[in-house]
Structure 1
Amino acid sequence: MGANYKRMRPLNYLISPDSIEAQEKNHSICIALYNAALNNDWKAAEKIISADTRVKTAAITKLEETILHVAVGAQNVEFVEKLLKLLSDEDVLLQDSRENTAFSYAAASGNLMIAQLLMRKNEGLPFIRGGEGVSPLYLAASFGRAQMASFLYPKTIHILQVGERKGLFLQCINFGIYDLALKMFKEDISLVRARDLSNNTALHILAGRPKAFPEQDKYNSMKHLMKSSNNDDHHDHMNESSNEALKLVRELWRETLNNKDENCFRQIIDTPSKLLFDATESGNFMFLFELIRVCPDLLIERNEDDQTIFHVAALKGHKRIFNLIHEIGFKKDIITSMEDKFGNNLLHLAGTFVASSHEYDYGMRKILQLRQEFEWFKIYIYIFFVTCRK
C-alpha cells in the first residue's frame, strides 16, 4: 500500500490579507505570478520569488492553487523544472482547496514529462488522492489520458480497492483506453460482471460504440461468422488485424460464455438492456460479429417488442447487419414473415425505412442517399415476394 499522507495546504497570506492595503498589493502579486506561470515567463516569476521566497508555496487563487499548480496545469515543462529546483520534497505535496496536488493536475493533463519531474522530487505523489478521494490514476483515465494511465497503473494499482478497480476498468472503456482495460481484464476476469452507475457492463458500453471497431468488409457474410467458430486461421487473422477494442470484446465474450450459470449469463447480456439489440441499434456490426460467430443461436433472440435483430436493423436502416438474413438458411423465411407485437413484419419495417429516408439528406449527401434508398428498395422487393409466396 502507498504511504499515508496528511493534507498539506499552501500559505494563505496572499489571498487572505490583514488589511485593504495588503489586499491590493497581494492581489497584484497573485495576478503577476499567475500570468507568469500560465505564460511560461520564468524571469518574471523568479523576480517576484527573489523578493519574497514565501510566494513559491503560497496560494495565488481562490481555489488555493500554488504557482506549481498553475504551471503544471498549463503544461509549461521548462517553468516547472526551474521551479522544482526551489521547492522541497514536501512543497510539491501542497493541495488546493479541492485537495488536488500539482501531480493530480499533471495526471489530468496527461503530461508525462511533468509527471516524471514531480516524481523525481517526491515518489509518493501518485499515491495522494485528490478531491472526493480520486487517485491520479483514476483521474488520468477519466480524462482519457491513455499514456498517463498506462504509466501510473503498475505503480499505483495496488492502492485501489475492489470497487475502485471496477470503476477504473469501466472508465478506461468509457474513454477509449482499451489496451489498459484489456490488461486489467486479463488480470481479473471477474471484471466481466462490473457495472457502472447506469448498471451497464463493459460489453454494454462497447455495444454502443461502433466507431471503436475497425471496418472489416471481409467479414460481411454469415458464412464467415459460422465457419470462423472453429477456424484457427480466422482467429490468427483477427488477432493481427483487429484493434484493442475488438480483442477486449472477444475476451469478455469468451468469459461470459464460460459462465455455466444460465441466470448469471442472462444477467450479463440482458440487464440493463439486451446486449445484442444495443449493438444492432447502433449499427455495431463488428461487435455483433464477435458475439454471433461463436453463438449463432443469438440470431433468433427477440427483444421486448418481439423483434429480432433483423427487424431492428430494417427499422434503423443498418443494411450491413440486415443483409445477414440472406445467409441463415431456412430460418430466413421464418423470420421474414414473423410479426412483432405491433403486427409489423420485415416488409412493413423495411418499407418504413425507405419511406422515412425521403425526409432527410437533401444537401451534399443526396447521391449517397439515393444509392442507399436503391439498396433498401431491392431488399424491400425481396421481402415482398417472400411474403406474397407465403
Structure 2
Amino acid sequence: TTIQSSTSYKDVAIARDNYKNWSVCMKNYLLAQDLWDIIEASSERKAEDSEADIRNWRKKNAAALLAMQNSCEPNLISEIGEITSAKDAWNALAKIYEPTTVDESGQPAAKVEEHQLPATITNQQSKVQELQAPTLSQGDSADWDLVRHILYVYPDAITAKVSIYGETLLHLAIIAGHVKIVENLVELMSEQDIEIRDTEGLTALGIAAMYGRTEIAKCIVRKNEELVVAPDKRGHIPLVMALRYAAHQNMIRYLYSVTPIDFLLSENGSHGSLVLSYFISLRMFGFKKIYDMKLMHTYALEVVRCMSKEISALDSNKLLYGVVLYPFFEAAKRGIVEFIVEMIKAKPDFMTVYFMNGRSVILSAVENRQEKIFSLLYGFNERKLRVVFGLDDFRNNLLHLAGLLAPSSQLDHISGAALQMQRELQWYKVIIS
C-alpha cells in the first residue's frame, strides 16, 4: 500500500472546527487505499489468524495510522503519537474533537451510527448539514466525490428530504447550479424518485424552471418527460414557473417546446391563459427579433450592391483567382439568391464560371437542392445550353447530381422518409423536363 505525502493532507489538517470535514476526507482516502477495514471492528486480529494475515494486518494498520498522523499539524501529533492501533487512534480523535450532543434531559445523547440513519433525516441536524454542504459549496468535481461518499454510507439519502423545505439532495444541487452533480444524481435515481416534491409541491423540474437552469431541465426531462405537466400546489406547471420567476428566454423556449400544446388548451385548465398573459406582460412578442433580422438583411444587401459595383470593373480572368469566387459559390450552396443575382448583374460571367470539382453555380444548386438558385437558369438565355449540358471534373451532369442523395441539411427539413423520397423524385423530374 502506498501513502501520499503529508502535503496532500495539510489543507484538511484536523482541528476542532473541521473534524467532520477531516473525517469524511480521511475515510474516503482509507476506502480508496483499501485500509478502512482496519478502522472497523471486524478487522481485529484473531488467535487463529495465520502469520501472513498478521503481517498483512500490521502493514495496513501502519499505513492507516501513518495517514492519520500525516494529516495532523505537528502540535497535534502528540494526541495519537503513542497509539499503535489505527482504530484506537481514530476513536481517540473522534472522542477529542467530535462535538457531543445532549438530549432533552441534558445528558449526552447516544451517537447515531451510520447504518441507523432513517430515510427522512431532517431531524438529525448534523447529518443534514453534512448532506447539504457538498451540494451547496463551489467545487463541482470535489462536491460529487462527497455526495457519492454520503450515498455510499447512507443509500436512503438519495430520496431523503434534507431541509426544512422538504428538499432533496437533487433539489439542493439544482438550486446551487451544479450541473455535473445533478446529472450524476439523475442517473442514479428512478423516474419515481425524480417526482419527489418539496413542501411547495415543486418537482426537480419546477425548481430548475424557477432558477432558469436550462441544461439541468433538459437532463431531468430526458429522465422523466411527465414532469413538464406536473403542477405545484398552486397548479402552476414548470413553463408557468419559468415565466413567473426566472424569465430566462432559453428556459422558456425550451419548456414551451417540450410542453404538449394540447395541455395548454382551455379545456385542460388555465395553463394556456397563464402562459399567454405572462408572455404579454414580459413583452416577449418576438417582433423586435424579427425586425432586427430584417434590418440586418437589408444592410447586408446594401453591402452586396456596393461590392457589385467594384466587381463589375474587374477583368473576367481575375474572377477565377479572386476572393469573390468562394463567397459566390458558398452563397449558391446555402441558397442566398439575392447575393447570386447581384453578382450576376454585375458580372454575367459568373453564370458559367467554375469552382471546386469544375461545377458551375447551377450544378452546385442542384447538388445542394437550392431551387431558388436553380430557377435562375430560366433567365440565362443564350448561355443556358452551356450550363445545362456542362460536366464537372468527374463527368457528372445535372441528372447525375439530381440522382445523388440530397445533403442531410436539406433532408432534415422534411419529416418522414416518404416525403423525402417524394422531394427527391420531384427534383429528378424537373431536371429531366
Q: Which TM-score bucket, shorter chain as reference?
A: 0.3 to 0.5
Larger Rg: 1 or 2? 2
TM-score (norm 1): 0.40
TM-score (norm 2): 0.36
